[in-house]
Amino acid sequence: MLVLRPIKTDDFAALKEVAKASGHGFTSLPVCDDLLERKIARAVDSFNKQVESPQDEGYLFVLEDTQSKEIVGTTAIEAAVGLDVPLYHYHMGKTVHHSSTLGVYNTVDILSMCNDYTGATEICTLFLKESHRSGLAGRFLSRIRFLFMAQHQQRFSNRVIAEMRGVSDSHGHSPFWQWLQEHFFTIDFPTADHLIGTGNKVFISELMPKYPIYANLLSEDAQKVIGKVHDKTKPALRLLEKEGFEFRGYVDLFDAGPTVEAQLDNIKSVRDSRLLTVEIGDQQSVDTFAISNLEVNEFKAVFSCNIAINESSDTAIISQEIATAIGVSAGQSIRVLKLS
């Protein structure tokens, strides 16, 4: 059985393996021992904090195969981004060059650097090992965060964002960064990507162009990838679009990948998840459900079709195996969401 739970201190080695497998562009899991240790410590602290409003908490979850004890995936939530270290984006806009005397009217796309998402909650660090990408595990990792957020809404902003990985090749080279590197930087994309992942962002304010960039001055290859996602990220983007996330013109500074956003109250999984009372029994549904307890530091969740919902009594009949896996017993409440 696959069980999602908060990361623990002794998961370091497993997390490092996931970081290695995630590849270029996955800045939230750089292969850096010190940073990964700090990320784990911060997550453990966040899960144990009493929180009335979102601050600098980071909630990192791991998906564990209970039979092999292997960590096969991760998913995370940043409670409020940009409060400690600035969060930069380019916003896509337009400017008009007009001369009534000459009869000229030109509309030009521009990119303006901004910090508009300061304080927003970010869902991030979704990664699943290739061996487990068939079936519903990826969908579960994406949507289970919303059950946690629905249950503990005081810990999060109502504005939720997701930064999607932009286009880069198999060597980690981004066409968009290639243009920036040529005109403003002397470091390649993997190096810049690593610096961001390790929290070293001061070079952004030091070297990034301070004025809006005219998109038509970029190389043709760079223009083509603005707002586009990496091929491997397309399934994740489709899942978020089904949840109600929208692209509103904000792109990453380095690979020009899109950032999508939604209001927490309007996210489909938040609206559709239900609180039900546990009954223990052997039942099976034609649908698969995400099933979680209501805890914070002892949060546990699984996905299974071994569940039956009694609409008239607002109860969920689950197997003893599921109850044990998520740490609940008969009479307690769980949160449930249909995945398929």
- The answer to whether 230 is a known catalytic residue is yes
CA-to-CA dists, residue 332 to 154, 316, 319, 323, angstroms = 22, 10, 14, 10
Q: Which residues neighbour 119 within 8 Å (Cβ) at sequence distance 6 or greater?
A: 54, 80, 81, 82, 83, 157, 159
- For residues 73 and 129, the answer to whether their CB atoms sit within 8 Å is yes
Beta-bridge partner residues of 13? none
Burial category of 85 from C-beta neighbours within 10 Å (exposed 0-12, middle 13-18, buried 19 and up): middle
DSSP result, 99-141: ETTTTEEEEEEEEEEE-TTTT-EEEEEEEE-GGG-STTHHHHH
- Beta strands per DSSP E along the chain: 2-6, 58-65, 71-78, 89-99, 104-114, 121-128, 159-163, 213-214, 246-251, 258-263, 274-280, 289-292, 301-304, 307-310, 315-318, 333-338
CA distance linking residue 326 with residue 340, whole number of Å: 20
Question: Are β-strands 307-310 and 89-99 bridged in parallel, bridged antiparallel, or unpaired?
Answer: unpaired
- For residues 125 and 29, the answer to whether their CB atoms sit within 8 Å is yes
CA distance linking residue 115 with residue 90, whole number of Å: 9
Among candidate residues 24, 89, 194, 230, the one labeled active-site is: 230
Torsion of CA 197, 199, 202, 207, to 10 degrees: 0
Token pair for residue 45? 């602290």
b/e map of 298-309 (b: 16 or more CB within 10 Å)?
ebbbbbbebbbb
3 state SS of 7: coil
Identify how many contiguous H helices and E strands the chain contains and give both numbers: 10, 16
Query: What is the set of active-site residues?
Result: 230
